């Protein structure tokens, strides 16, 4: 299979320094709203990269559940591979790619667990089957077959037919950004890259070479 000649010449939009808002989180919200309006496939899907105890990087796609003035929120099993990695090294790199808009956003920052009350509130808003699944799945653990998972889910559902409490090993993280980069594809691979870098509690805005 020859992949050398697979390429796209991006030309839909440009990104100038003047177009960028002073606050990168507001700029992100603006781009996210445009991605949602454009009906981009899974606009809240983001790649979450972590470093494990052996110093090896791993990554996976997780759904963004909130962006606020502090940062980016997602939820997961604290005992999962990413949960263990974040316990050891509480930093991450996020990446959003919105191919239909020829855009991506890169984020780097430290990670903190959300307060239990916030995790409780979000967990209670999830569909019943998702709440059951959070108990049934020992995320990232090896299982002998799918039947093991289904049987455990049935046991949890029988125990909690109406209200499923949040498992203590499941909850939210907030990524507090130290760097956010907005990338807009341009012709001839001369892409527009605008980086926000936190320096002494102020955001420095810079254009990067592609």
pLDDT band at 117 (very low <50, low <70, confident <90, very high): very high
Q: Is residue 108 part of a domain?
A: yes
Report whether 81 contacts 140 (CB < 8 A).
yes
Q: What are the residue numbers of the active site? A: 189
Report whether 72 contacts 175 (CB < 8 A).
yes
Residues of the chain with pLDDT > 70, as a percent, come to 100
pLDDT, average across residues 48-77: 97
CATH no. for residue 29? 2.30.110.10
State pTM to two decimals: 0.94
Whether 189 has a binding-site annotation, put simply, is yes
Q: In angstroms, what is the C-alpha Rg of the chain?
A: 20
Q: Is residue 8 part of a domain?
A: no
Q: Is residue 161 part of a domain?
A: no
Query: Domain total for the chain?
Result: 1
- Amino acid 150: pLDDT: 95
Whether 195 has a binding-site annotation, put simply, is no
Average pLDDT, the chain: 96
* 83-111 residue pLDDT tens: 999 999 999 999 999 999 999 999 999 99
Beta bridge partners of 194: 182, 207
Whether 119 has a binding-site annotation, put simply, is no
- Which structural domain, as residue segments, surrounds residue 171? 17-126+167-208
């Amino acid at each position: 299979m020859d992949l050398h000649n697979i390429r796209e010449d991006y030309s839909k939009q440009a990104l100038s320094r003047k177009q960028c808002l002073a606050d990168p989180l507001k700029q992100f919200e603006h781009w996210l709203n445009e991605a949602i309006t454009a009906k981009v496939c899974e606009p809240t899907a983001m790649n979450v990269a972590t470093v494990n105890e052996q110093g090896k990087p791993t990554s996976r796609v997780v759904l963004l559940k909130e962006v606020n003035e502090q940062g980016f929120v997602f939820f997961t099993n604290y005992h999962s591979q990413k949960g263990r990695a974040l316990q050891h090294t509480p930093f991450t790199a996020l990446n959003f790619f919105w191919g239909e808009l020829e855009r991506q956003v890169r984020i780097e920052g430290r990670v903190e667990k959300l307060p239990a009350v916030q995790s409780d509130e979000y967990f209670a808003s999830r569909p019943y089957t998702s709440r059951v699944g959070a108990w049934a799945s020992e995320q990232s653990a090896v299982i002998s077959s799918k039947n093991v998972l289904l049987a455990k889910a049935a046991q949890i559902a029988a125990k909690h037919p109406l209200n499923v409490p949040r498992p203590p090993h499941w909850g939210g993280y907030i990524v507090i950004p130290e760097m956010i980069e907005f990338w807009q594809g341009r012709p001839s691979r001369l892409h527009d890259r605008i980086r926000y870098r936190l320096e002494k509690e102020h955001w420095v805005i810079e254009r990067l070479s592609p």
